[in-house]
Amino acid sequence: MADNPQGTPGPPTTIVLFGATGDLSRRKLLPGMLHLWRSGLLPEMQVVGTSLDEHTRESFVDFAREAIGEFSDDEQDKDEFEEFAKRLFWANDGVDNLKAGIEEAEADCEKPQARLHYLSVPPKAALSVVDTLDKAGLVKNSRIVMEKPFGTDLASAKSLNDSIHKVFKEEQIFRIDHFLGKEPALNILALRFANGLFEPIWHRNHIDHIQIDIPETLGVEGRAAFYEGTGAYRDMVVTHLFQVLAFIAMEPPTALDPISISEEKHKVFRSMLPLDPHDVVRGQYDGYRAEEGVDPQSDTETFIALKCFVDNWRWADVPFYLRTGKKLAEGQRIISIAFREPPKSMFPEGSGIGDHGPDHLTFDLADTAKMSLSFYGKRPGPGFGLNKLSMQFAMEDTGWAGSILEAYERLILEAVKGNRTLFTTAEGVERLWEISEPLLEHMPPVRNYPQGSWGPNQIHQLIAPFAWRLPFERKWRAN
């Protein structure tokens, strides 16, 4: 990131958006591109939309207008849409149509345009798009953004990488993980490496265990065909939760640049022990098999919780607990660092010491960018009663709240700039599938759980003698 400070505008760029009429494009990508243009971060951007759907430039602009109206929450962005619409172009499917659409978009550009190809397409279509770009001569001096999943096991990940590398160099490929684009995820690096307070205790001597907990209230929501062949582990853990784990566990990089950070993340992945199937709980919410497009005998997990270890000097024997699933009690995205308790208590029985578990540092990965630190303090009054206290911080409480970029906005901007810090690599992807092999070969049974619960009861045995941080014993402070 050092070469591209936040706030530095990106270069003149043509973004070729494959799958431009899809759900992700409607909800995130088109609103995000509008905001990047309107805020001056990508002031010289052209967008060429393309998909299997037949459109004209005018109908694509209408599609984008409706998407912005429904999903953008920035009134200034909405007010500027008609000006932004002049930068929207369309190319119907096919090599010749794609070349013509890009030529039209760049015809009046005064400066040479960099090109970013964003593949918002199903996994099976990605290689077809790569082949189209190759045939169209649109590979040189361009970059490509790819959405998960990056394979379904080690063999498929290697095959996918080999196929893409025949066309694109690794440094041209940006494998996106929107969790790493979130402000709180980046704040982990700031908290650890910009302060003298936390890094000295950021290791096994002071940290008891770590939880990364991403429950969702939604179901498969029309994605049954994709989800049936994927499941919660492949969909969320390999592509998202392990990437967040690397930010937590990595050693200090020599610099905040893509190469240095990627190397430290790779060291974490290389240090991770292969997953033990006995340390995994798989679940499926009641009613999943009745969803349209789901096999009535489906063994696909909609929930997974697991324990894993990073076997190095910093983290040896410290368990990392990961949990995610569909149709759960709450939609949350938290990282919770549980610190070790004092070796001996000098407080009298009944004082309250230990009643509420260990001290925690908690990151909320929602866009509001919250952090809290909980600890014991004396309860006012006679005697020496103790209560759990909490110091909390929310980015929206500061004067910088308006500067927060949505995750996809940040990642698009960094990809345009060529900054690969927040993107994973072929090496990292393949190593994560390698440690997954024991689990994928011997999957534990799927256990049913009620919709609106926290998952199968076996999750409590998995984390014992600890307890899951969610649901919170106390809520975030009201703003």
Domain residue ranges of the chain, discontinuous segments joined by +: 13-147, 180-406+426-463
Strands 88-90 and 114-119: unpaired
Encode pLDDT of 349-405 as tens digits: 767 676 677 888 998 887 667 888 888 877 777 777 777 778 888 766 665 555 678
Convert the pLDDT of each residue in 59-89 to its tens digit. Answer: 999 999 999 999 998 888 999 999 999 999 9
Packing angle of the helix pair 30-38, 407-417 (nearest 10 deg): 70
Is 13-147 a CATH 1.10.520.20 domain?
A: no
pLDDT band at 226 (very low <50, low <70, confident <90, very high): confident
Name the active-site residue from 240, 278, 356, 442: 240
Q: What is the pLDDT of residue 464?
A: 94
Establish whether 266 is a catalytic residue. Answer: no
Could you tell me which CATH class the domain 180-406+426-463 is placed in? alpha beta
Share of the chain above pLDDT 70, in %: 93
4 pLDDT more than 60:
no
Tell me if 13-147 shares its fold with 180-406+426-463.
no
Q: Are 242 and 432 in contact (CB under 8 A)?
A: yes
Position 366 scores a pLDDT of 76
